Amino acid sequence: MRKIILASNNQHKIKEFREIFFDAEILSLNDIWFHNDIIEDWKTFLDNALIKCNTVRKFLIEKWIDANIIADDSWLCVNVLDWEPWIHSARYAWWHWDDAANRKKLLNELKWKSDRSAYFNCTIVETFPNGEYIFSEWKTYWTILEEEIWDKSFWYDCLFFSDDLHKSFWEATAEEKNSVSHRWRAIAILINKEKNNGWDNK
């Protein structure tokens, strides 16, 4: 079974990747004892994902570890807020990775706004030991709800009404949520690129 290093320690994200890459062993940064900070200071989703991959790849080379690396960059963009939170999605309220505070700030910013349309962009990069890489992208469109519903434990999910499903995440099944997920769709495109070009054997 091939090994893929996921440039993350986010348990929700790790679960998603393991469910889709069922024919590979997905290892987190903690699994390979990578504890360095990764500075994501670029202005595009692709550049930030590449920074993660290249930083981890340098670490693997130093440790003589041969494995593919996958990183993603996902951000919420709200149209009426000039696409904010954008690259600040994870720290929108300037707390340290505090999802509840981020959602509270977002709801306050939209309090008197009639346009609550938004989208999630996901860019995924996979790098190979020889330095080659492939990437995929997908956008999923939403309307931001006026209050939190459903599971409030992760990200902005409890504020989403899906334009594709015509229902909120509270009403959707797990299968329906996965079918419109920006990350699941981007991963599916990446897997197709692997297979079509023989990279799934690298």
| Residues assigned a catalytic role | 73
Could you give the CA distance from residue 108 to residue 165 in angstroms, rounded to a whole number?
26
Could you give the CA distance from residue 161 to residue 146 in angstroms, rounded to a whole number?
10
Contact status, residue 164 vs residue 156, Cβ threshold 8 Å: no
How many other CB atoms are there within 10 angstroms of residue 35's CB atom?
9
Candidates 100, 119, 99; CA nearest to 164 is 119
Beta strands (DSSP E) in the chain are 2-6, 24-27, 68-78, 117-127, 133-144, 160-162, 167-168
Candidates 145, 2, 19; CA nearest to 78 is 145
Could you give the CA distance from residue 121 to residue 21 in angstroms, rounded to a whole number?
21
